[in-house]
Amino acid sequence: MRRITSTIDKQKHFPVDIKCQKTAPLLCIVGFSGAGKTTVTVGLVGALKQRGLRVGTIKHDVHGFEMDRPGKDSWRHKQAGASATIISSPAQIGMVMDVDHDHHPLELVPLLGEMDIVLVEGFKRADLPKIEVFRSENEKPPACQNDRGLLAVVSDAKLGWSVPRYAANDFEGLAEFIVAHFGLNSLTIRRCAQSACG
């Protein structure tokens, strides 16, 4: 699990001053189907959580989805014509709501509450910072190799890209890179929360 790097100018890629930032930075985990985006996202959630950060996630599904199970009460509410349905328990909440367009991640962040960082799986065409997960055996071209927002690539293949490269299972190394790039650490977050930033 070693970090594989190449030269990069961090300042040209979305410099962020977290000290008084009011919304969490967004980071898209992108790549074509089968590249391993979900594996990387899940691994990063764990690695960032271990560093004391509150991590939100957004998953983009261009094909549509069904969160509820047929026959359940909340499913019946929605099937009866409710435009929005919330299910609430002492441990968690969930919401299904009709929308009139495919929402940009920035439109969705307010729904997450107070997070330190939001990982967005998908949205490869969004003008946001991103990390590409690339598998040459997928026989698909890179999705974002020349994207100005590309910060790093996750791949076990030797690539000549101008951004740092991390092994597919190097979640710790990638988390360290993300924390450094966005200036995230528990002390900075706590200082901001306790200061006049909010």
Domain that holds residue 178: 23-60+105-194
The structure tokens listed for 139 are 């026989």
What is the per-residue pLDDT across 36-83, written as a single tens digit (0 to 9) for each? 999 999 999 999 999 999 999 998 776 555 666 787 777 788 888 888
Q: Cα torsion at 46, 47, 49, 51 (round to 10°)?
A: 160
The answer, yes or no, to whether residue 196 has pLDDT greater than 60, is no
* Cβ burial, residue 108 (10 Å; 0-12/13-18/19+): middle
70-122 per-position pLDDT tens digit: 877 777 888 888 888 878 788 887 788 888 888 888 888 888 888 999 999 99
Residue 95 lies in a domain: no
In a domain, 77, yes or no: no
- Whether residue 180 lies inside any domain: the answer is yes
Q: Identify whether 6 is part of a domain.
A: no
The total of structural domains in the chain comes to: 1
Give the pLDDT band of residue 197 (cuts 50, 70, 90).
Answer: low
What is the average per-residue pLDDT within 187-192?
52
Task: Tell me whether residue 142 is in a domain.
Answer: yes
State which amino acid sits at residue 112.
L
What's the pTM? Answer: 0.77
